[in-house]
Structure 1
């Protein structure tokens, strides 16, 4: 029973997921601070209002939703531009091009079915294929 659990935990996908969750949680704090302490005041200086929470319509807090939506978009942009793009560039640098494998089949000129490359006669229509 414990051997099965050990095999499950030591599979690559489980370890990758665990590391990803831990690193993601830690980096989430960094990104949230980047948005809250740097991006939001910068946008507030440009627009003139750093906080939209006072905006209401019939006691519906539209401003809080706008704050959450803007924060989400800034967090998503920060994650995309500071994590996804560099990680994709790094992975593209390490991946070597895969050599093309020659095809294992060819098309019969008579019946257009796939036949092995070494075949001299089509198994479907018995036509000679050179």
Structure 2
């Protein structure tokens, strides 16, 4: 049972996923700080409010509704998604594309002796028929 758990944890994709979650959480904190420290105050200044969450608020029967709070969450999501796409996904795709374009090494281009021998036998049999 413990061996199975150890094998599961030591798989490459599980470790990669764990690293991605940690890096993603840290990256999200940076982007949220950028949004909260710059983008949200800029948009709030445009609407004349000190905080984006106070934009377009209204009260019905003592219940306060805030469209600005929804906008704030939407801007945070869009900024994180854009940053992840442009700073992580796009460069990784470029690296994969460049790696795929690399020519095969000479060792891989030359077939093994057995393959060459089998090709000769095939050609000889084809010529007999």
Q: TM-score, normalised by structure 2?
A: 0.62
**Contact kept in structure 2, 1:43 and 1:50, CA below 8 Å:** no
RMSD between aligned residues: 2.2
Gapped regions of structure 1 (runs ≥ 5) = 99-130
Alignment partner, residue 69 of structure 1: 70
Task: Say which structure is richer in helix.
Answer: 2
Gapped regions of structure 2 (runs ≥ 5) = 102-129
Q: What is the alpha-carbon distance in structure 1 between the residues aligned to residue 86 and residue 13 of structure 2? A: 22
Q: What is the alpha-carbon distance in structure 2 between the residues aligned to residue 60 and residue 89 of structure 1? A: 44
TM alignment of 1:25-40, pairs within 5 A:
25-40=25-40
Q: What is the alpha-carbon distance in structure 1 between the residues aligned to residue 90 and residue 29 of structure 2? A: 24
Q: What is the alpha-carbon distance in structure 2 between the residues aligned to residue 84 and residue 2 of structure 1? A: 38
Q: What is the alpha-carbon distance in structure 1 between the residues aligned to residue 48 and residue 6 of structure 2? A: 57
Q: Secondary structure at the match of 1:62?
A: strand
4+ aligned runs moved over 6 Å, structure 1:
none
* Number of aligned residue pairs: 96
Relative contact order: is structure 1 or structure 2 higher (C-alpha 8 Å, sep ≥ 6)?
Answer: 2
Shift of residue 61, structure 1, vs aligned partner: 1.4
Q: What is the alpha-carbon distance in structure 1 between the residues aligned to residue 58 and residue 31 of structure 2? A: 26
